[in-house]
Chain A
Amino acid sequence: MIINFHAHHSPITLHSPCVGVGLRHSILLAVDEMTMNKIRPKHLALHKIKLPLPGIVSILHRVSGALLFIALPFLLFILDQSLRSIETYTNLTEVLAYPILKLALLGLMWAFLHHFCAGLRYLAIDLHLLSHISAARASSKWVMLVSLSLTIVLGVKVW
């Protein structure tokens, strides 16, 4: 579902009619314009592109996935310590009570929740459940809303 949008070479600003399922439409538009005026090489003016919300959900899906991958050794270490013995478990709970580590874990919880919700959205799109542009657009709002609010709820519970 993730299309190589971010590395796409085109100076074209993408407008809101191409929100929908997201980037496919935008890329088709971009390709159309590219074939019309063949100025090469093309470079993306990233700051000029107003990324629609489905696009933001998409790039955050990548960012959260990469964050979770980088965190894997730490998460496996936490799992190891939590299961090894009652002593390592108690020690772990004490160490993870440090505010900076709590904050890091909360950030990872957001990454997980966003990746989870956005992933469910892509599965729904694959099953053609969100084929209408308004449904696709609304679902990207829900992804942001649910993942952020659940992160806040967790944050409140932990503090």
Chain B
Amino acid sequence: MVNRVVTGAHYGLRDWLVQRVTAVVMAFYSVVVVVFLLLQPAFGYDTWAGLFSGNLMRTFSMLFLLSLFYHAWIGMRDIVMDYVKPASIRLTMHVLVILALVLYVIWSVQILWGL
């Protein structure tokens, strides 16, 4: 019997799951939007803006964007962890990615609710 010493921060499984749940949300949203666009006989501003005029679609789009940003965080963090060795540059890149994504969340609300 080997007594293995388990180390690490133990966020791996949660992030693995989050990455997949957010992926499914985004895939579903993408298919819905693409099917909607393909069903339009003529496409223009009215159709496009009309799609985002309802609160349901705005909420669904916000859910998509939040999924995207969380997904992007896990992906970018993994890439930085794998390829960037110096701790200072790695930390800086992590912070920049987080700051950008938080700003994108605020921006998304402004876009979708026309602020």
Q: Which residues of A contact B (CB under 8 A)?
A: 2, 4, 6-7, 62, 65-66, 68-69, 72-73, 76, 79-80, 82-84, 86, 89-90, 116, 119-120, 123, 126
Contacts and interface: CB of A to CB of B under 8 A. Distances in A.
B45 A4 contact: no
B49 A65 contact: no
Contacts of B114: 83-84
Contacts of A72: 72, 100, 104
Interface in B77-115: 78-79, 82-83, 97, 100, 104, 107-108, 110-112, 114
B64 to A, nearest CB: 11
Contact of B79 (A66, A89, A123): A66
Contacts of A82: 45, 48
B63 to A, nearest CB: 15
A7 B20 contact: no
Given A83-B52, A90-B45, A65 B24 contact: no
B104 A73 contact: yes
Given A72-B104, A83-B48, 13 more contacts: A69-B76, A69-B97, A72-B72, A72-B100, A76-B104, A76-B107, A80-B107, A80-B111, A82-B48, A83-B111, A86-B45, A120-B27, A123-B20
Interface of B: 20, 23-24, 27, 30, 45, 48-49, 52, 72, 75-76, 78-79, 82-83, 97, 100, 104, 107-108, 110-112, 114
A75 to B, nearest CB: 10
B30 to A, nearest CB: 7
Contact of B20 (A6, A65, A126): A126
A153 to B, nearest CB: 13
